[in-house]
Amino acid sequence: MAEGIDQRIVVPASKILAEILRGKQIDYDHVIIEGDLDITKKSKSRERENIPSIESIRITNSKIEGKFSIGEISIKGRAIFENTQFCKEVVFSSVQFNMLAKFNESLFNGRAFFMDSQFRGNAFFIGANFKDLSLFNRSKFNNNASFFKAEFENDVAFNRAEFFGSANFTKARFGTHLFENQRFEEFPHRKDTNLKADLKSRRGTNKEGRALFIGVQFKNSAFFDGANFNSDAIFYNAYFLGHASFMNALFGGSCDFKQARFQRVADFKGVIFENETKLDLRGSEFNIFKIKWSTIQSIFIYDSQLFISLVKNYEKLGWTEDANKCYYAYRVFNRSSMHFGFSKLVDVLEDLVIGYGVRPFNIILITIPIILFFGAIYFYWDGVCINKSCSYNCSPCSISINESLLFSLIVFAAKIPTDLRAIGGFNWIASLESILGWFVLGIIMSAITKRIKL
């Protein structure tokens, strides 16, 4: 035999269809299936005879050259398609998988539709490769679902899907090949007309496949650790009831979590945002959200309520530095929308004096120049007397620069009893410094109060 020739046995699709009609269990390994297999509601085979269910189906290490369509049917036993190549379109819409569904290491060259299906047993797509559009919209995964190391090279959608067991997308890759002139006109399910229009409208805006999880419900743990989203990742209105882990995931396009809800811990530690990625968390709700402020400060879309939620989140985690930096950014963001007036002036002063209560070092930078300035005045013009009984018209007396600075500090900070006192007109200067000290203290108290009340 010549090398490179496929030695697998060729089986016509009509033979498999006949076995299904007779209620036989389907079991093939290392075969090539020629022709289309169509057991959808509108196919001729379904018109000739009612097929309520398939006993079980196992096609492994094989190649299916034609279209493979199974719709609105129940598979009683296992559905195993391990290491199988689907050369054309695959349809498993409205299928009820009652036991294990296994598509590990399978290759989907055409579009793959699993819409409105129910997986009652475990669903495994470990290492599966989807080269074209793949849709799992409104499907229900009653048990564990694993897409570990799966690759979605074009758009993939899990819109309004429900995961009742754990959902594992660890090290999955979303969007690895370019797609152009993609046709979305012949969807096998009319309910997806809105999605069809959306995909058409975005064609050309981003040439890599997007991951769409709009309205999806993860009712147990969801793992996207190390996942690679090369294009847009849309989790709009997604609901995570269990632990949600995106540790070390990479986002290369827009990252949309608008109105997403995280009931428990959302772990985004080690996440990388590439290119000009924007993180949109507006309207989202979370209990514990683990992501460093330095990771998102320049890429997330600002929103006042979101800022407050993040600050409280960091405080709950005990990440004081992140909480302070986030709070500072929140105050700066709010100031940008203020109209010029007294409130904005106070806001600016709170920033300069104490950094909105989170940058206490600013106090030193503000107070030291003031104390030095007034201390120099008292020293060079002999404005301070060391005589305790000195009156308003007391004659000048020579004091050291250290004593002048000490007096300036005392006047600025508080009226502490001391032998040093201003003489003559310098009483007015001392009063001015004292008022300035009380003003700075008021600004400090205002900033700290607002920080505490957040």
pLDDT tens readout for residues 213-253:
999 999 999 999 999 998 899 999 999 999 999 999 999 88
Q: Please check whether residues 360 and 443 belong to one and the same domain.
A: yes
Which of 46-50, 217-221, 271-275, 281-285 is predicted with the least confidence, judged by mean pLDDT? 46-50
Instruction: Out of 324-333, 373-382, 384-393, give the one with best mean pLDDT.
Output: 324-333
In-domain check, residue 7 = no
Strands 384-385, 421-422: pairing kind:
antiparallel
Q: Copy the structure tokens of residue 82.
A: 């391990």
pLDDT at 204: 37
Q: Residue 265: which H helix or E strand, with range? A: strand 261-267
In-domain check, residue 224 = yes
> Is pLDDT at 207 greater than 90 in this prediction?
no
Q: Please check whether residues 125 and 273 belong to one and the same domain.
A: yes
Q: Please check whether residues 246 and 309 belong to one and the same domain.
A: no
Q: Please check whether residues 128 and 266 belong to one and the same domain.
A: yes
Strand order in the sheet with 31-34: 9-12, 31-34, 63-64, 85-86, 107-108, 129-130, 151-152, 173-174, 228-229, 250-251, 272-273
In-domain check, residue 330 = yes
Q: Where are the alpha helices (DSSP H) in 76-233?
A: 193-202
Q: How far does the chain reach from its first CA to its final CA, in angstroms?
A: 78
Averaged pLDDT for residues 14-40: 90
In-domain check, residue 102 = yes
Domain boundary among 279, 301, 323: 301
Q: Please check whether residues 190 and 257 belong to one and the same domain.
A: yes
Q: Please check whether residues 164 and 192 belong to one and the same domain.
A: yes
Which of 164-173, 259-268, 359-368 is predicted with the least confidence, judged by mean pLDDT? 359-368
Give, in degrees to the nearest 5, the angle at Cα 44 between 116 and 9.
85
Q: Please check whether residues 323 and 398 belong to one and the same domain.
A: no
Q: Please check whether residues 362 and 292 belong to one and the same domain.
A: no
R_g of the chain, CA atoms, integer Å: 35
Phi then psi for residue 80, to 5 deg, are -115, 120
Averaged pLDDT for residues 178-186: 30
Strands 95-97, 73-75: pairing kind:
parallel
Which of 70-74, 118-122, 237-241 is predicted with the least confidence, judged by mean pLDDT? 70-74
Residues 6+ apart with CB under 8 A from 369: none
> Is pLDDT at 416 greater than 70 in this prediction?
no
pTM: 0.77
pLDDT at 158: 95
189 band by pLDDT with thresholds 50, 70 and 90:
very low
Q: Please check whether residues 297 and 310 belong to one and the same domain.
A: no
In-domain check, residue 64 = no
Q: Measure the CA–CA gap between 405 and 409, rounded to whole angstroms.
A: 6
Q: Please check whether residues 128 and 277 belong to one and the same domain.
A: yes
Reported in sequence order, the residue ranges of 310-420 that DSSP labels E, i.e. its strands, are: 384-385
Structural domain total, the chain: 3
pLDDT at 403: 74
pLDDT at 201: 40
Q: Please check whether residues 242 and 115 belong to one and the same domain.
A: yes
User: Quick one: residue 260, left, alpha or beta (phi over 0 = left, psi -120 to 50 = alpha)?
Assistant: beta
In-domain check, residue 51 = no
Q: Measure the CA–CA gap between 52 and 75, rounded to whole angstroms.
A: 9
Q: What one-character DSSP code corresponds to residue 340? A: S
Q: Copy the structure tokens of residue 224.
A: 């996207």
Cβ contact 267:246 at 8 Å: yes
CATH code: domain of residue 384:
1.10.287
**Domain extent at residue 421:** 356-453
Q: Please check whether residues 266 and 415 belong to one and the same domain.
A: no
